[in-house]
Amino acid sequence: MKQRNSLIIGLLLIPILAFGQRKEVEGMKYLDEHRRPVYRENIIIPDVGNYQVLKCDFHMHTVFSDGQVWPSVRNQEAWQEGIDAFAITDHIEYTPHKEDVSVNHNRGYELLKESAAKSNLILVKGNEVTRGTPPGHFNALYIGDASEYIESRDAAQDKAAVMKAASQNAFIFWNHPGWQPGIAGSYDWIPFVDDLYKQGALHGIEVINGFGFHMKALDWCIDKGLTVMGTTDIHNLVAHEYDFSKEYVHRTMTLVMAKERTAESIREALVAGRTVAWASKILAGKEEHVRALFDACVKLTPAYYTEEKKNGDKINYYELRNNSDLYFELKLKEGNNTKLVVLYPRSVQQITASAETTSLYGEVISTYVRSDQHLSVNFQLK
């Protein structure tokens, strides 16, 4: 997402925004050329039908649990990176900085409420219910008073700890299943989780947590009608973990297809399951949502040229256009030489096919609609 355009705009804005009001001081020289330009990324994803595609990260930590940063840093990062909505989800049961930072599970949200609004960011109140593994950790969003939660990690209280969130009518998702390999039941659909699910106290699962794609979780989401989530679970600076010096790098997030850009509309979309997890070059989600997103972003133009070979064969030329900042890689089964198509963000590729070919079909191998299945696509040529 390091577009040249935004960089240029950023550079132009430097003197106006950052340093324009600075008074000349005799005996002082300012060396600003190494400063980061002040600008917000603009991640382009077209609307999907009547829905806006909002970029959301609902799992991050601060010094109020085991994170490295003060909450305001999360606000700055979200603004800079073009995130629409986020939640601070500090651990309830794990507060290793408590000698230095007083334990207050509501404080991170309170500190950010105003600055998020000023930054045109949607802040959702959340926390991480952090039980032993299994069952592991659960994020609760749209919570009420966070001081009511159970701090004891006694396994006998696991159920009550999650049900506290349910009693506040929270949106609850299971975090990073399988994160501690080798523990029996840590990457299984265990009775504890099944019980929450059947009681309506589980609404989604983290299919992508940071740099880990929990592929079994995608199948669970699809088979059980749970919402697919992608989050950073960031503890350090986002820029410490993600290599923003490279092109097209973005944090792991959930793309939420919402009617409006509001907290309540996002909630409605989360409950309805209209999400796709986006991390690295990968999009993972339910087939209908990944398809809707692909169709909104990628268009095949009508043939713009026909080449006639010496043997009389005719080859049509087409363009495949990517109108988004998402990355798509397609493997076409037909199409006379064009087999692998890499659609970089905001780019166009040339496709050729025999003039007799009526449709091109294949798979988008940068997407997952099940753990072992990519989105299949079919472009009608005639």
What's at 128, amino acid-wise? E
Which of 82, 210 has the CB closer to Zn ion?
Answer: 210
In the complex with Zn ion, the residue whose CB is nearer, 209 or 227, is 209
Of the candidates 205, 202, 325, 324, the residue with the CA atom closest to the CA atom of residue 254? 205
Instruction: Give whichever of 128 and 325 is closer to Zn ion, judged by the CB atom.
Output: 128
Nearer CB in complex with Zn ion: 107/137: 137
Query: Min. distance of Cβ 266 from Zn ion in angstroms?
Result: 20
Please give the helix or strand (H or E) that residue 167 lies within, else none: helix 158-167
> What is the C-alpha to C-alpha distance for residues 183 and 51, in angstroms, rounded to an integer?
41
Residue 33: CB partners within 8 Å, gap ≥ 6? none
User: In this structure, are strands 253-258 and 227-231 parallel, antiparallel, or unpaired?
Assistant: unpaired
- In the complex, what is the shortest distance from the CB of residue 190 to Zn ion, in angstroms, rounded to a whole number? 16
**CA geometry: angle at 207 spanning 164 and 321, to 5°?**
135
| Residue pointed to by tokens 């969130």 | 165
- Angle between the N-to-C axes of helices 191-198 and 158-167, in degrees from 0 to 180, rounded to the nearest 10: 20
**Omega of the bond leading into 181 within 30 degrees of 0 (cis):** no
Alpha helix stretches (DSSP H) within 213-328 = 215-224, 238-241, 263-272, 287-297
DSSP state of 191: H
Closest approach, Cβ 59 to Zn ion, in A, equals 6
Distance CA 382, CA 375 (A): 22
Give CA–CA dist 148/161, Å, rounded.
10
Tell me whether residue 39 or residue 171 sits nearer to Zn ion (CB atom). 171
> Is 53 or 253 the residue whose CB approaches Zn ion more closely?
253
In whole angstroms, how close is the CB of 134 to Zn ion at the nearest point? 13
Q: How far is the CB of 96 from Zn ion (least distance, A)?
A: 13
Q: How far is the CB of 219 from Zn ion (least distance, A)?
A: 21
Closest separation between CB of residue 168 and Zn ion, Å? 19
User: Which residue, 46 or 212, is less far from Zn ion as judged by CB?
Assistant: 212
- Contacting residues toward Zn ion, per CB under 5 A: 128, 137, 175, 233
- Local structure of 364: helix, strand or coil: strand
Task: Determine the residue with CB nearest Zn ion.
Answer: 137
Using the minimum distance from each CB to Zn ion, give the nearer residue, 221 or 351: 221
Run of H or E residues at 8:
helix 4-17
> Residue 61 CB, nearest distance to Zn ion (Å)?
6
Q: What crossing angle do the helices spanning 71-80 and 107-118 adopt, rounded to 10°? A: 30
In whole angstroms, how close is the CB of 175 to Zn ion at the nearest point?
A: 5
User: Which value, in Å, is the radius of gyration of the alpha carbons in the chain?
Assistant: 23
Given a contact cutoff of 8 angstroms between Cβ atoms, the answer to whether 168 and 140 are in contact is: yes
CB 375 within 8 A of CB 290: yes
Question: Which CB sits closer to Zn ion, 242 or 294?
Answer: 242
Minimum CB separation of residue 114 from Zn ion in Å reads 25
Amino acid letter, 181: P
Which CB atom, from 91 or from 291, has the smaller least distance to Zn ion? 91
Q: How far apart are CA 175 and CA 184, in angstroms?
A: 17
